[in-house]
Every structure is written in structure tokens, then in C-alpha cells.
């Protein structure tokens, strides 16, 4: 056709690949959506695992693993602590003390109840009941002697009935006290006498290893001591020592400040005034009754013991004399009694101290002045065997010289008293230069120093 074309639209022709591309895009979009949904589902399900029950196996495994890990940490920390606090050296095995089982106290019997009452015992007393233990391990007899509501006459009557039924008077309670220990400590003289008549032993020891005589001496009861000493068995144990290694006489020397009648009774029964205790015990101090009287400011007892020929210069385990102890405590009364009796002011203890030194060390100015005074500081002269043969109180004398070459005869102190030169002593009113003494001479100064 011969037609003129004025305009035309150019378009790309369609083909099959266009629909395929659209399908792929749709498929990719679906896959992407599915992946997103899957991720959201997984994220949503993870927290819910912890909310599952304890029976789930995965949760149990997690608990087991965490516990094992915690144990490993605890063990590591404990090992570090042990290395830090445990001392180096041989390991000491650990000792675990089990708690003491609580004791179940037995109930009191009818006999216990009546023994503790204010009325006489009325129930029949059977042999199987008379020694039965009640609270604190006490028998009816022990309960009876502790009774403060009954009269002593009624206690004695009930006690006689119990003994006739077979009561054992020498049993201990849970505190290691017998009926006699309790009665002596309470001061019931008639009941004590009755117990002794019925066969109670006064030499049985209590928890402090004390006999009844120790208890009476500590109480300073003259009548109680006399009752106990009527028993021959007690006389045989008059010098028995307690856990502190003290005899009854030592306890009286410490505590009895009224008079010396108890000490006199003990000495009459055979107590030894110079006995210094049992040296096989670890509590031994080597001190006599005189040591205790001097230490505890019992001047009247010091005077009594000195009259009984107590060793005034006896030395204990520290080489202290009674004068050392009295001076160290500042007790002027015992110091005066000892000096008056001729106790040595020259002896030294294991610290090389005289009584004067011990007074100074312990700030006892009064006793130090007493020992240094012209009335009491004595120049004591000793013969070759060590016995005092002359003594004086010359205020001006500085010392004495011993020489085997000195002439015999009598010398004169500055106060006018004389001494025997047959023992080869001379005195000096001036300080002596020890360096000029011959090898055969000895010098004794006022503080007791001997060259």
C-alpha cells in the first residue's frame, strides 16, 4: 500500500522468560518468609526450655553439671584456705570431740522424798532401797544430812534407822562428796559424831583430795577437829596432803588467827611442824607450816610454831625462808617474831636475795626499814660448823672477819656485848676492804654476803 506513515510506536516484543522471572521472585520471597518464621519460632521456644519440669533429662543434666562445677570451685577455695592457715610442718590429725551425752537424772524415790521432808521417815525401809541413787547420785542418807528443816535429833534418829537397814555411809555422790564431808562442812557436830559412831570414814577424800580433817582445819573449827581426832584412823592420816600439797596444820597456819588451840591439838595428835609436803607430787613447794604462817601474816601462829621447835631457817623449793616470804609480803608481825627467834637475815634465795632484798624488790618499805634498823639488823657470827654462837645489834658495826690465825679470847661489840674469839671471828666498825683479806679469812657483812 502506497500510504504515507506519519508516526509509529516502537515496543519490545513479549517472550516466555518474563513469567519465569516473576515465579522465581515469588519463590524467593516465600523462602525468605519461611526462614524468618523459623527463626522467630526458635527464638520463641528457647526461653521455654527453662520452664520445663525438673523431670526433663536436659534440665537434670544441666543441674548435675553446675553442681559438679560448684564442687570443684569449693574444693579449690578450701585448698587455698588450708594452704594459707595450716602451719607448715608435720600434719596433725584433726580431732573431733563429740558433745557429752546429757545425763538423765534418776527420779527420787519415796525414801528420798521423806528424807528431805520436815517429818520423820515413815515408809518401810527396804534393803534394796536404802542405797538407791536419786538426783545428783545421792542416796537417802546424803539427802538426809543435807536437810535443814529437820532437827538434829530427828536426823540422828532417821540416820540410825537407815544404817540399820544397810545404808552405806561411805559412798560418793556425783560431786565426790560423802555424807560425812557434807556434815563436817555444815558444822553439825552431833550428826558428825553419830556418823563416826556408825562407821563413816573420816579419811575418805573429796574432789579436792581433802580429808574431813582438811575441811575442819579450813573452817578453823576446834570442836570439829577434836571430834575427828578421836578416831584412830584420822590420827594416822594427820599429815595427809590435799591437791595443793597442804596438811591440816598448814591450813590452820594460814587461816586460824584466833589462837593456836587447833594447831596444838594437831601437834598433840602427831602432826609434824617441819613437814614440807609430799615431794613426789607436782604441787610440791617445800614449804612448812611456818612458811605459810609467815606468808599469810599470822604472827601468833609463827610464835607458836617457833615454840614447837619449827625450823626458822627452813628453805622451800626456791630457797626462801619464812623470813623471805614475810618480808616479800610486807608482814611486820611475822618478821619481828622470826628475828626475835634468831632467824637468819643472811640466807639467800635462788635469786641471791636476802630478806632485805626481797622487801625492796616488792616495795615493802616498812619491812625493809625494819630489817635495816639498829634494833633488828643483827651481825650473826657462825662457827666452823655453821651454827650461830654469838649475835648482837651494834648500830656501828660494818662487818666481821673470820681468820684461823686470830687469838682466842673474848671480843667486844661496840654496844658492850662480847663474843667468843675461839671461833676465830673479829669485828670491824668501818667498811672492810675485801681485797686485803688473806685466803683463810672470810668477811660477813650486814646483808649476809660471805667472802
Q: What is the pLDDT of residues 48-101, one digit of tens each?
A: 544 444 455 566 666 666 666 565 556 666 666 666 555 666 666 666 677 777
CA distances to 194, 214, 253 from 225, rounded to whole Å, are 15, 9, 14
Q: Which residue has the cell 540410825?
A: 160
Res. 117: pLDDT tops 80: yes
For residue 91, the model assigns a pLDDT of 62
What distance in Å separates the CA atoms of residue 392 and residue 343, rounded to the nearest whole number?
A: 13
Most confident of 75-89, 370-384, 407-421: 75-89
What pLDDT does 24 receive?
80
Q: Which 3 state secondary structure label does DSSP give 291?
A: helix
Q: What share of the chain is helix, strand, coil (3-state, %, to 5)?
A: 45, 5, 50
Q: How many angstroms separate the CA atoms of 123 and 120, rounded?
A: 9
Q: Name the grid cell of 113.
A: 522424798
Q: What is the mean pLDDT of residues 260-289?
A: 97
Which whole number is the average pLDDT over 396-414?
39
Residue 446 has pLDDT above 70, yes or no: no
pLDDT at 186: 96
The whole-number pLDDT of residue 386 equals 39
Q: Quick check: 245 pLDDT over 60?
A: yes
What is the reported pLDDT for 46? Answer: 59
Percent of the chain clearing pLDDT 90 (strictly above): 57
User: Does the pLDDT at position 339 exceed 90?
Assistant: yes
Digit-coded pLDDT (tens) for 139-174 = 999 999 999 999 999 999 999 999 999 999 999 999
192 by Cβ neighbours in 10 Å (0-12 / 13-18 / 19+) ranks as buried
Q: Average pLDDT over the chain, rounded to whole? A: 79
pLDDT band at 41 (very low <50, low <70, confident <90, very high): confident
Of 25-29, 143-147, 304-308, 444-448, the one with minimum mean pLDDT is 444-448
Share of the chain above pLDDT 70, in %: 66
Structure confidence at residue 197 (pLDDT): 97
213 closest CA partner among 185, 191, 188, 244: 185
Task: Give Cβ neighbours of residue 345 (< 8 Å, ≥ 6 apart).
Answer: 323, 339, 354, 355, 356, 371, 377, 378, 380, 448
- Residue 194: pLDDT over 50: yes
Asked if the model's pLDDT at residue 3 lies above 50, the reply is yes
pLDDT band at 38 (very low <50, low <70, confident <90, very high): confident
Per-residue pLDDT, 61: 65
Please state, in angstroms and rounded to a whole number, the distance separating the CA atoms of residues 311 and 209: 27
pLDDT band at 103 (very low <50, low <70, confident <90, very high): confident
Confidence of residue 372 (pLDDT cuts 50, 70, 90): confident
Sequence spans of domains, the chain = 106-201, 378-451
The answer to whether the beta carbons of residues 312 and 322 sit under 8 Å apart is yes
pLDDT at residue 28, rounded to an integer: 84
Q: What pLDDT sits at residue 429?
A: 41
Average of pLDDT values for 133-137? 95
Backbone angles phi, psi at 244, to 5 degrees: -90, 10
- pTM above threshold 0.75: no
User: So what's the pLDDT on residue 377?
Assistant: 45
Reply yes or no on domain 106-201 having CATH 1.10.10.10: no
Residue 36: pLDDT band by 50, 70, 90 thresholds?
confident
Q: Return the pLDDT at 37.
A: 84
Q: How confident is the model at residue 180 (pLDDT cuts 50, 70, 90)?
A: very high
How many residues belong to the chain? 451
Q: Which of 159-173, 176-190, 212-226, 416-430 has the lowest mean pLDDT?
A: 416-430
Question: For the residues of 145-180, what is the DSSP string, one character each?
Answer: HT-SSS-HHHHHHHHHHHHHTT--TT---TTS--HH
The DSSP letter of residue 450 is: B
Residue 291 reports pLDDT greater than 70: yes
Amino acid at each position: 500500500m502506497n500510504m504515507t506513515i506519519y508516526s509509529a510506536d516502537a515496543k519490545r516484543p513479549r517472550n516466555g522468560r518474563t513469567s519465569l522471572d516473576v515465579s522465581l521472585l515469588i519463590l524467593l520471597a516465600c523462602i525468605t518468609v519461611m526462614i524468618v518464621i523459623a527463626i522467630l519460632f526458635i527464638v520463641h521456644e528457647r526461653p521455654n526450655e527453662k520452664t520445663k519440669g525438673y523431670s526433663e533429662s536436659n534440665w537434670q543434666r544441666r543441674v548435675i553439671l553446675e553442681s559438679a562445677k560448684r564442687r570443684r570451685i569449693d574444693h579449690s577455695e578450701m585448698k587455698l584456705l588450708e594452704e594459707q592457715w595450716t602451719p607448715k610442718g608435720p600434719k596433725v590429725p584433726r580431732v573431733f570431740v563429740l558433745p557429752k551425752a546429757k545425763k538423765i537424772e534418776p527420779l527420787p524415790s519415796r525414801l528420798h522424798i521423806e528424807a528431805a521432808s520436815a517429818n520423820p521417815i515413815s515408809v518401810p525401809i527396804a534393803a534394796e532401797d536404802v542405797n538407791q541413787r536419786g538426783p545428783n547420785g545421792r542416796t537417802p542418807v546424803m539427802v538426809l544430812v543435807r536437810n535443814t528443816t529437820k532437827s538434829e535429833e530427828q536426823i540422828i534418829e532417821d540416820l540410825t534407822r537407815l544404817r540399820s537397814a544397810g545404808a552405806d555411809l561411805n559412798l560418793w555422790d556425783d560431786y565426790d562428796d560423802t555424807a560425812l564431808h557434807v556434815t563436817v562442812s555444815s558444822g553439825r557436830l552431833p550428826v558428825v559424831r553419830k556418823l563416826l559412831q556408825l562407821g563413816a570414814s573420816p579419811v575418805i577424800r573429796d574432789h579436792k583430795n581433802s580429808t574431813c580433817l582438811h575441811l575442819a582445819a579450813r573452817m578453823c573449827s576446834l570442836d570439829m577437829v577434836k571430834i575427828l581426832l578421836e578416831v584412830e584412823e584420822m590420827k594416822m592420816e594427820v599429815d595427809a596432803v590435799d591437791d595443793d600439797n597442804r596438811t591440816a596444820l598448814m591450813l590452820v597456819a594460814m587461816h586460824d588467827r584466833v589462837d593456836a588451840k587447833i594447831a596444838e591439838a594437831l601437834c598433840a595428835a602427831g602432826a609434824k611442824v617441819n613437814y614440807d609436803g609430799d615431794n613426789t607430787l607436782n604441787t610440791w613447794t617445800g614449804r612448812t607450816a611456818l612458811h605459810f604462817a609467815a606468808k599469810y601474816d599470822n604472827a601468833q601462829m609463827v610464835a607458836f610454831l617457833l615454840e614447837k621447835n619449827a625450823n626458822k631457817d627452813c628453805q622451800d623449793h626456791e630457797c626462801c625462808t619464812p623470813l623471805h616470804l614475810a618480808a616479800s609480803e610486807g608482814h611486820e608481825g611475822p618478821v619481828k617474831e622470826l628475828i626475835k627467834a634468831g632467824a637468819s637475815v643472811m640466807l639467800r634465795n635462788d635469786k641471791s636475795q636476802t630478806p632485805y632484798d626481797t622487801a625492796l624488790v616488792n616495795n615493802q618499805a616498812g619491812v625493809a626499814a625494819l630489817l635495816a634498823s639498829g634494833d633488828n639488823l643483827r651481825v650473826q657470827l657462825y662457827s666452823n660448823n655453821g651454827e650461830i654462837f654469838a649475835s648482837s645489834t651494834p648500830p656501828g658495826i660494818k662487818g666481821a672477819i673470820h681468820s684461823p690465825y686470830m687469838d682466842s679470847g673474848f671480843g667486844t661489840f661496840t654496844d658492850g656485848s662480847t663474843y667468843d674469839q675461839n671461833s676465830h671471828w673479829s669485828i670491824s666498825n668501818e667498811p672492810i676492804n675485801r681485797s686485803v683479806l688473806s685466803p683463810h679469812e672470810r668477811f660477813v657483812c650486814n646483808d649476809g654476803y660471805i667472802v
